[in-house]
């Protein structure tokens, strides 16, 4: 069916949003809408302008009859700042305090509205980088990895502390837990990551950095390359962290179990991403 | 800034897609675009028509000055059938066969394109039901729960076989593993689910149904109600299954370790959802 511009713009927006980082050809859209390529080009120019003005992301357009468009999700500075401020407030709630000075996070990391923004914010940071896979460790890192993977449109892989019969052959590495200084083991299914991949590591919480450091070793075992490390929250840590170069959206500075207070600040994300 | 219709349609599509099942008022859109409510109403009618024609979902519009619109993601029968056929082919690959007759699934459940469609397909099934939370068991059910949770726009909760210090107080239940007939334990953080919730259970794979049955007991312990059970794949099971009423997208009928063949068919999803 031949379509009107308004219908095309709505369907195109949906189509592009569901397939980030994927080049969609002019020919495809021209066939889908039974419209001339020149009309599709005009449509894409309008979508591009609106995506930019509204901070939705970048629509890369490749000109010419063999061209097309690729949607790169992003988030503008204002929206990223607002999200991180909201999270600072949420995280500072006394009710999150658990025995032993731990912070309850599972509700936030199960909320689709929070996860969407976490995904957009982290994907924004790596907008110019080649990433082939997102890696995390089970279980609490998984929702973050999945959200980032959606916005980057690359698969995510889950490293496990316990091997499962349903993973097939695995590669295992030992690592030193930063907080407890114990030697632990983590495993990743051999078939889950190709050699030579560019890997982004994400996790929910980092203290000493032992787990993240374990994932770095794992990436080496797969002859792959670490592109970056971003965690939802970092905690304060007295000793020397095992990982120096990382990004955090939030920083849990002080936990006072007596007063039942948690003091949370924005992490280094905003300065790293927007202050350059 | 006052906007043109084309810009409004693109931004509205994005805005609604990012907030499924949420009522957005005419007033909100009128302010956002500095446009008359009558223009916004016309815009929404266009969006509604295109969403319907393209199988994107339903745009519920509430008429009148106090009205607004709510986007309910869906998928049409053709697209659902195509997705399930694609998965039958993917799942039948010999290379998925693991020792002991297990099937490797982790790659599919780490692919954002697959997870998006899994989420849309399962959400479609419960389009008329009240659901307050999606429940699954760690680790491999998590990506499915998260995708469904996005399209239903409700939180998901993760039941664990091992309790963690970062979950706070938990409720635990014992359950009989259907395959091995052993007694196992699962736990859920007390604060993760409100009493009286309507809960959808999802998982990656079901054999005897023991794990799913455990989640049913867990839901009872939280004085909540089970709305339905949907799994990505069911395996064949010789004995009496512990759960009768469930939906599966795929059915793994036969695994022949000698010939290295897997025989996969569509599950009962299509008949349950579209043949009524």
* DSSP annotation string for A21-80: T--EEHHHHHHHHT--HHHHHHHHHHHHHHHHHTTSEEEEEE-STT-EEEEEE---HHHH
Find residue A157's DSSP bridge partners: A135
Find residue A186's DSSP bridge partners: A173
Least Cα separation, residue B10 to chain A (angstroms):
6
Least Cα separation, residue B220 to chain A (angstroms):
20
At residue A42, the pLDDT reads 95
Strands A247-256 and A261-266: antiparallel
Architecture of domain A77-274: 3-Layer(aba) Sandwich (3.40)
At residue A89, the pLDDT reads 97
Identify whether the C-beta of residue A247 lies closer than 8 Å to the C-beta of residue A228: yes
The answer to whether the CB atoms of A110 and B149 lie below 8 A apart is: yes
User: CATH number of the domain at B5-73, please?
Assistant: 1.10.10.10
Mean per-residue pLDDT of chain A: 94
Encode A112-180 in three state secondary structure: HHHHHHHHHHHHHHCCCCCCCEEEEECCCCHHHHHHHHHHHCCCEEEEECCCCHHHCCEEEEEEECCCC
**Residue range B52-72: average pLDDT?**
93
Which of A209, A208, A212, A235 is closest to A91 using CA atoms? A235
Least Cα separation, residue B64 to chain A (angstroms):
23
Least Cα separation, residue B76 to chain A (angstroms):
15
Angle between helices A26-33 and A37-53 (to 10 degrees): 110
Mean pLDDT check: name the lowest of A253-257, B40-44, B53-57.
A253-257
Taking CA atoms, B179 is separated from A146, B237, B263, in Å, by 30, 8, 20
The whole-angstrom distance between residue A214's C-alpha and the CA centroid of its chain comes to 19
Size of interface A-B (CB pairs under 8 A): 164
Q: What is the Cα–Cα distance from B150 to A116, expressed in whole angstroms?
A: 9
The answer to whether the CB atoms of A9 and B6 lie below 8 A apart is: yes
- Cβ contacts of B104 on chain A, cutoff 8 Å: 166-168, 189, 191
Comparing alpha-carbon positions, the chain B residue that sits nearest to A101 is: B166
At residue B48, the pLDDT reads 98
The whole-angstrom distance between residue B18's C-alpha and the CA centroid of its chain comes to 16
Query: Which tens digits make up the pLDDT trace of A44-101?
Result: 999 999 999 999 999 999 988 788 999 999 999 999 999 999 999 999 999 999 988 8
Domain boundaries, chain B: 5-73, 77-274
- Cβ contacts of B49 on chain A, cutoff 8 Å: 7
- Cβ contacts of B141 on chain A, cutoff 8 Å: none
Q: What is the DSSP letter of A207?
A: S
Range list of H helices, chain B: 5-17, 26-33, 37-53, 77-91, 112-125, 142-152, 210-221, 269-274
Selected residue with higher pLDDT from B190 and B255: B190
Q: What is the Cα–Cα distance from A239 to A101, expressed in whole angstroms?
A: 17
Q: What is the Cα–Cα distance from B192 to B219, expressed in whole angstroms?
A: 12
Termini Cα distance of chain A: 48
Range list of H helices, B129-189: 142-152
At residue A267, the pLDDT reads 98
Confidence bin at B188 (pLDDT 50/70/90): very high
Q: Is the pLDDT of residue B1 over 60?
A: no
The answer to whether the CB atoms of A9 and B11 lie below 8 A apart is: no
- Cβ contacts of A155 on chain B, cutoff 8 Å: 107, 110-112
At residue A276, the pLDDT reads 66
- Residue B24: other Cβ atoms inside 10 A: 17
Residue B191 burial (10 A CB sphere; 0-12, 13-18, 19+): middle
Q: What is the DSSP letter of B160?
A: B
DSSP B35-96: --HHHHHHHHHHHHHHHHHTTSEEEEEE-STT-EEEEEE---HHHHHHHHHHHHHHHT-GGG
Cβ neighbors of B243 (< 8 A, separation 6 or more) are B206, B209, B212, B213, B216, B229
Torsion of CA A231, A232, A235, A236, to 10 degrees: 70
Residue B58 burial (10 A CB sphere; 0-12, 13-18, 19+): middle
The C-alpha angle B14, A125, A199, rounded to 5 degrees, equals: 110
Q: What is the Cα–Cα distance from A92 to A251, expressed in whole angstroms?
A: 11
The C-alpha angle A198, A83, A232, rounded to 5 degrees, equals: 45
Q: In what order do the strands lie in the sheet with B23-25?
A: B23-25, B68-73, B57-62
Length of chain B: 276
Kindly tell me the sign of the dihedral angle through the C-alpha atoms of B7, B10, B14, B19. positive
Phi and psi at residue B101, to the nearest 5°: 80, 20
The answer to whether the CB atoms of A104 and B5 lie below 8 A apart is: no
Query: Using only C-alpha atoms, what is the Rg of chain B?
Result: 21
Least Cα separation, residue B168 to chain A (angstroms):
6
At residue A175, the pLDDT reads 95
- Residue A147: other Cβ atoms inside 10 A: 28
- Cβ contacts of B150 on chain A, cutoff 8 Å: 112, 115-116
Q: What is the Cα–Cα distance from B105 to B232, expressed in whole angstroms?
A: 10
Numbers of helices and strands, H then E, in chain B: 8, 13
Confidence bin at A2 (pLDDT 50/70/90): low
Comparing alpha-carbon positions, the chain B residue that sits nearest to A103 is: B166
Q: What is the ipTM of this complex?
A: 0.96
Q: Is the pLDDT of residue A1 over 60?
A: no
**Residue range B6-33: average pLDDT?**
97
Angle between helices A142-152 and A112-125 (to 10 degrees): 60
**Residue range B97-118: average pLDDT?**
94
Mean per-residue pLDDT of chain B: 94
Q: Is the pLDDT of residue A169 over 80?
A: yes
């Amino acid at each position: 069916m031949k379509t009107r511009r308004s219908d095309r713009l709505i369907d195109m927006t949906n189509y592009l949003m569901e397939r980030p980082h994927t080049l969609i050809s002019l020919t495809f859209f021209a066939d889908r809408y039974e419209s001339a390529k020149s009309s599709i080009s005009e449509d894409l120019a309008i979508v591009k302008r609106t995506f930019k003005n509204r901070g939705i992301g970048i629509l890369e357009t490749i000109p010419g009859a063999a061209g097309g468009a690729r949607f790169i999700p992003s988030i503008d500075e204002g929206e990223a700042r607002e999200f991180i401020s909201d999270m600072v407030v949420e995280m500072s709630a006394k009710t999150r305090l658990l025995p032993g000075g731990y912070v309850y996070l599972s509700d936030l990391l199960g909320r689709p509205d929070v996860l969407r923004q976490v995904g957009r914010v982290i994907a924004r940071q790596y907008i110019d980088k080649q990433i082939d896979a997102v890696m995390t460790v089970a279980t609490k890192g998984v929702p973050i990895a999945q959200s980032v993977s959606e916005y980057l449109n690359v698969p995510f892989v889950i490293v496990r502390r316990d091997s499962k019969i349903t993973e097939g052959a695995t590669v295992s590495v030992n690592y030193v837990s930063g907080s407890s200084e114990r030697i632990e083991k983590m495993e990743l299914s051999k078939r889950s990551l190709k050699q030579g991949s560019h890997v982004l590591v994400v996790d929910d919480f980092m203290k000493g950095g032992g787990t993240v450091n374990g994932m770095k070793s794992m990436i080496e075992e797969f002859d792959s390359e670490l592109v970056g490390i971003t965690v939802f929250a970092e905690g304060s840590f007295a000793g020397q962290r095992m990982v120096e170069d990382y990004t955090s959206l939030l920083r849990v500075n002080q936990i006072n179990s007596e007063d039942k207070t948690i003091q949370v600040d924005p992490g280094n994300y905003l300065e790293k991403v927007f202050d350059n």
